[in-house]
Amino acid sequence: MRIAYLRVSTADQTLASQRLAIEKALGEAPEREFVDEGVSGRVMQREGLDACLNALRASDELVVYSLSRLGRSSAEVIRLVQDLTRPVEQGGRGIILRSVTEALDSSTPTGRAFIGILAVVFQMEAELTRERTLAGLAAARRAGRVGGRKPSLTPRQKKQALTLYEQGERPIDIADTLGVSERTVWRAIRDARATREKVHGKKEVMV
C-alpha cells in the first residue's frame, strides 16, 4: 500500500502543493493519506504522523514531500528513516520510503546508499557538537571559571544540552560533558524547550 504523509507548519500554508508534487512523482494519488496542519516540526505531538506510522506495515510504501516533514531534528529524522527502511529480519520495519524533494527511493541501491550517507553526516555533526562543547568547557577552566558551587548553565549551554539530548545523548553523559549534575541537565533541557516554544509559538511535551 502506498501511504502519503503531509505536514504544513503554519495555518496560512496549504497542503495542495505537497499533494500535487507527491501525485506527480507517483503518477497517481496514494491509497491513503495522513496529514498534520499548522503543526511545527518541533512540536512533540503530531497526531497525523503517529497515525501514519501505526498504519504502516512491512512492504508498504511511505511517500513524503521532504524528509524534513518526518521529525523535529536531523537526529530524529535519521533514526526514523533507518528504523523504517531497515529490513524486518534486521529488526526494522521493512518500509519503502520515498521523498520527492530529495529524489529518494529506499528500494534502490542509490536510495539505500543515500540513507547511509545521511547517517554518517549526522554522526559527524554530533561529534563536532560534542567537541565544540568540550572545547568551550576547557577554555572556561583555563580562564579560572571552576571550583565552588556549580554555576547555572548559560542560555547557549542549555541549547547545547537540548541539541545533544535530541541527538540521542544520555542526560548523564551530557551532565559529564557540561560538568554539572544530571538534574541540572534536565532543567536545562526544559528551559531550552520553553525558550524554543516561545519562539515558535507551539507547546512541546517532555518525554
Which residues have a catalytic role annotated?
Answer: 9
> How many angstroms from the chain centroid is the CA of residue 104?
18
**∠ CA 170-175-177 to the nearest 5 degrees?**
95
Beta carbons within 10 angstroms of residue 81's beta carbon: 23
Contact 5, 37 (CB under 8 A): no
Distance CA 86, CA 195 (A): 35
Distance CA 116, CA 81 (A): 10
Classified as helix, coil or strand, 125 is: helix
Strand ranges inside 65-198, DSSP E: 96-99, 104-105
Distance CA 73, CA 5 (A): 17
All three cell numbers of 107: 528500494
